[in-house]
Structure 1
Amino acid sequence: MNLSNLQKEQVSSLSNRDLLPVPPTERTWKTQNFASMWMGVINNIPTYATIGGLVVLGFSPWQVIGIIFTASLILYVALTLNGHAGSKYGIPFPVLIRTSYGILGANIPALLRGVVAIMWLGIQAYAGSAAFNIAFTLLWPGWAELGGGWTFLGIGLPGLLSFLLFWSLHFLVLKRGMESLKKFQGFTGPLVYIVLAGLLWWAIDTAGGVKPIFMQPGKYETFGEAFFPFISAVAGIIGIWSTLILNIPDFTRFSRSQTDQIKGQLYGLPVTFTIFTFVTVAATAATTVAFGKPIGDIILLLQQFDRPIVIVIAALILSAATITVNVIANLVSPAYDLANLFPKWITFKRGFYITMMAALFTFPWKLMENADAIFTLLNLIGGALGPIAGVMIADYYIIRKRELNVNDIYSLNGEYTYFKGYNYRAFAATLFGAAVALIGVFVPSLRELYDISWFLGVVLSFASYIGLMRLHPPASATGEKGEIECEAGNDAISSKHSSGA
């Protein structure tokens, strides 16, 4: 593909260097890089709390492992399916969805994804800074007394300093773009296994062996009792990572080959997630033996030990891993989304800085004072992301047959123009899937639908998008011209670019 054939108007209005297909010389991510990425995403404080929370909710250790293994397999399939286009064409998420939502319409789901990410970026940074605060207090007890009773919007000086330091470390991870992230996650991902090995040793020693841990019963004793809670838990776990299903092309576009992203995500997701779950379940179950009740929060668990240096090391390692997941899940995507919205002025790096500042000024410690309301809002917005994934997969695999007109992705007057830049079919399918998936929030009798909202949203939007595209094919599919005037010609990048399958 000859990118030099793009005319200047096309580049300035719909693209910049960061949004154009990644050239082969810059596709350097190998299998181990994708595996390390998922190690960083999974092996961290928020994931521990999620898995430990399933034990606290009454699932048996083996049921929790089954939930995570099932969810991770479904996630893996969805991620590799949606990551295929990124690896094949080298384009990021907000550019890829132009093919389904339209050249201009793509900005709407991209911004929706970006807003959710910015909110979570601040919240996760605040959660990770708690480990910093504990570590600093143990190293220097006077740390907790800094500032006396001074507070800023409800947070004391030690907590504020811990947050600002933790927040600022994110800048180091992306200082040289995705190459910096590749190196950082390659270091922090495997490092967390030191903490996991220590936790597993403590759990087995405390419980008197492996058998007492995994023989602990749950409150769901029969298959019938456990079935729907099991499915709901699987859907909930998938929902947590559903945002990454959308923007996985942001990472697979740097893959050396399709095989690298497929194998790397296999090793990094189902394998790593199951190992991490085994250790987390063992540690959480052991807390029942040690403290008389399950403790599903690793920060609270670390505070139970009487060896400060062990707590400090573990807290700092876990905090570093939390930075990795925050960058991958909540920082890369909005940086690209903002670049896609204003490509003439915003590059990936500028989008990164804007995202960081936006997350800072969400004042996450203040948001957490109304945690239930905030999480409900984020979950509602997140409920619309499943249907977006359904539309993307349907468009790429069923409608396009994995063949994209790369030239027209960067053209205001091409196949993906639809009507004035928007494809109503994609929006109708998304709204339909989201409405059914989220109706349980507002209609108590349909609450069970909300518990499996991700599945419903994906399936319904997938099917309805295909139906709408076939019942009322877009003008571009019937040979008519697009409806946005554009002086720039459509000099070929390549009419049907299909290299790197």
Structure 2
Amino acid sequence: MKKTTNNRLSNKDLLPVEEGERTWKAVNFASIWMGCIHNIPTYATVGGLIAIGLSPWQVLAIIVTASLILFAAMALNGHAGTKYGLPFPVIIRASYGIYGANIPALLRAFTAIMWLGIQTFAGSTALHILLLNIWPGWGSLGGDWNLFGLHLPGFLSFIFFWGIHLLVLRHGMESIKKFEVWAGPLVYLVFGGMVWWAIDIAGGLGPIYSQPGKFHTFSETFWPFAAGVTGIIGIWATLILNIPDFTRFAASQKEQIRGQFYGLPGTFALFAFASITVTSGSQVAFGEPIWDVVEILARFDNPFVIALSVITLCIAAVSVNVAANIVSPAYDLANALPKYITFKRGGYLTAVLALFTIPWKLMESATNVYAFLGLIGGMLGPVAGVMMADYFIIRRRQLSVDDLYSENGQYTYYKGYNYRAFAATFLGAFISLIGMYVPALAGIYDISWFAGVLVSCLGYTTLMYIHPPYAKSAGRIVRERAAE
């Protein structure tokens, strides 16, 4: 395989992974999902579904449905990464063009940086509770000083917790792989303990799962159900795109598919059971469903329980941040400026930019989080639709690796940009987000991710067939394929 040295399009972190370095097994992918799923914002989203009136059984059905769809999307979009050893921003050069790929990649990076800030703040709130139990005077430190509403103790907790992420990045992807293997299973400790508490305080599972929802008929339940599925998928809309950043290290397609199946539907079902049980248990214990797991922890008076729970939640937050919100932006930023930014430098830059997202404003209520998730799904769904249409329908799983790094190859299109991909993306985003501004079409916004994927997939396929580009270096014309 030819490896280009053109530093406008590549560096050592963007080139295909060598066969000998593709060592990730099913357990590595499963452990990533075990760590990613068990996090505070996901718990808040599940709790929010209980809070809007869905029954525990309805929420469980939403989680199972969403996890199966996520597994299918991850396995499909991860195929090219495993087959060619390529990261996400390089793969999408095939559809968006060698330079045009930077636009969706940087959009994905921006979203991940926002999520990094949110997850870091969520973890820091748990750390803040631990410090309050160790040092009662911690909460009054700094007096009335605040930064956009966040007082000094909370800000210091945020900065300290943010710094932990930098330690995990020290040795690149190999250190991330080792961290996830033990971090994922460890997270089950705190959720297992909280499930035990919820069952005990509620007098068994019966009182928890017998709680009725306010939606009874199919017509009443359909849109809240669909919106719930979309909201859950919206959490992982970013990782659907950049799953090749991980599957490029897979030993085989079988390993990445098995690992994601074990880690996604299986782990997510257990997480759903834990989240629903604890949220519903809080309703029995306190008279109202508490969607914030940190707030529940704050009501305990056992310092040991608080310390163990907080440490585990912090590990969970670091786990999901590193896997979902640092790896991709690191590659995306490196792809934009490969001459100056390596994977590790991109990771550090991502962490710095996350400081300026002011995440405590985004996390003030479950409503804000939910709206943000819908917006993410609406914007990034179309990109996933274009990626899958290009790889599976247009290319039929065949990519010219050399041309992905060439300024004169078949993926150059017009000056490095493929207008077809952008037109399909904009159309998909418009359709999926129009419901935000046109009340009569609000139902489309409730399923924004699905609408965006479907519209962009069909739009891109149509444009590539009715106006196929000329493939310069491949010795053929894409038009020939369209005519087959």
Same fold, TM-score > 0.5, yes or no: yes
**Percent of matched pairs sharing the same residue:** 61
Mapped to 1, the partners of 2:286 and 2:367 lie a distance apart of 28
1:237 is displaced (CA, Å) by 1.1
Q: Is the 8 A contact 1:116 1:382 kept in 2?
A: no
Q: Is the 8 A contact 1:121 1:359 kept in 2?
A: yes
Q: Which of the residues 263, 279, 284 maps onto 1:289? A: 284
The residue identity in structure 2 corresponding to 1:62 is W
Q: Is the 8 A contact 2:68 2:265 kept in 1?
A: yes
Is it true that 1:280 corresponds to 2:275 in the alignment?
A: yes
Cα distance, 1:448–1:367 mapped onto 2, change above 3 Å: closer
1:207 is displaced (CA, Å) by 1.4
1:346 is matched with 341
Cα distance, 1:480–1:31 mapped onto 2, change above 3 Å: closer
2:105 is matched with 110
Q: Is the 8 A contact 2:410 2:473 kept in 1?
A: no
Counterpart secondary structure, 1:159: helix
1:471 is displaced (CA, Å) by 0.5
Mapped to 1, the partners of 2:133 and 2:85 lie a distance apart of 47
Cα distance, 1:379–1:282 mapped onto 2, change above 3 Å: closer
Cα distance, 1:378–1:272 mapped onto 2, change above 3 Å: closer
1:173 is displaced (CA, Å) by 1.5
Which stretch shifts more, 77-86 or 210-219? 210-219
Is it true that 1:202 corresponds to 2:201 in the alignment?
A: no
Cα distance, 1:374–1:301 mapped onto 2, change above 3 Å: closer
1:96 is displaced (CA, Å) by 0.3
1:361 is displaced (CA, Å) by 2.8
Aligned CA-pair RMSD: 2.0
1:244 is matched with 239
Q: Which of the residues 322, 331, 337 maps onto 1:336? A: 331
Mapped to 1, the partners of 2:372 and 2:205 lie a distance apart of 40
Q: How many residues align?
A: 477
The residue identity in structure 2 corresponding to 1:251 is F
1:297 is displaced (CA, Å) by 1.2
Mapped to 2, the partners of 1:271 and 1:367 lie a distance apart of 30
State TM-score, norm by structure 2.
0.94
1:235 is displaced (CA, Å) by 1.3
The residue identity in structure 1 corresponding to 2:135 is W
2:481 is matched with none
Counterpart secondary structure, 1:474: coil
1:451 is displaced (CA, Å) by 0.5
1:59 is matched with 54
Q: Which of the residues 21, 26, 51 maps onto 2:16? A: 21
Mapped to 2, the partners of 1:455 and 1:382 lie a distance apart of 8
Alignment of 1:292-303 (within 5 A): 292-303=287-298
1:491 is matched with none
Mapped to 1, the partners of 2:370 and 2:223 lie a distance apart of 23
1:467 is matched with 462
2:256 is matched with 261
Is it true that 1:418 corresponds to 2:413 in the alignment?
A: yes
1:448 is matched with 443
Mapped to 1, the partners of 2:196 and 2:360 lie a distance apart of 34
Structure 2 residue ranges without an equivalent (≥5): 478-484
Q: Which of the residues 169, 189, 192 maps onto 1:174? A: 169
Q: Which of the residues 220, 225, 230 maps onto 2:220? A: 225
Q: Is the 8 A contact 1:51 1:64 kept in 2?
A: yes
Is it true that 1:312 corresponds to 2:317 in the alignment?
A: no
Counterpart secondary structure, 1:476: coil
1:155 is displaced (CA, Å) by 2.6
Mapped to 1, the partners of 2:294 and 2:27 lie a distance apart of 29
2:140 is matched with 145
Cα distance, 1:20–1:367 mapped onto 2, change above 3 Å: same
Q: What do residues 458-491 of structure 1 show as CA deviations (whole Å, max 9, x unaligned)? A: 0111111111111111011897899xxxxxxxxx
2:37 is matched with 42
State TM-score, norm by structure 1.
0.91
1:374 is displaced (CA, Å) by 8.8
Mapped to 1, the partners of 2:358 and 2:125 lie a distance apart of 15
2:181 is matched with 186
1:149 is displaced (CA, Å) by 2.8
1:157 is displaced (CA, Å) by 2.1
The residue identity in structure 1 corresponding to 2:423 is A
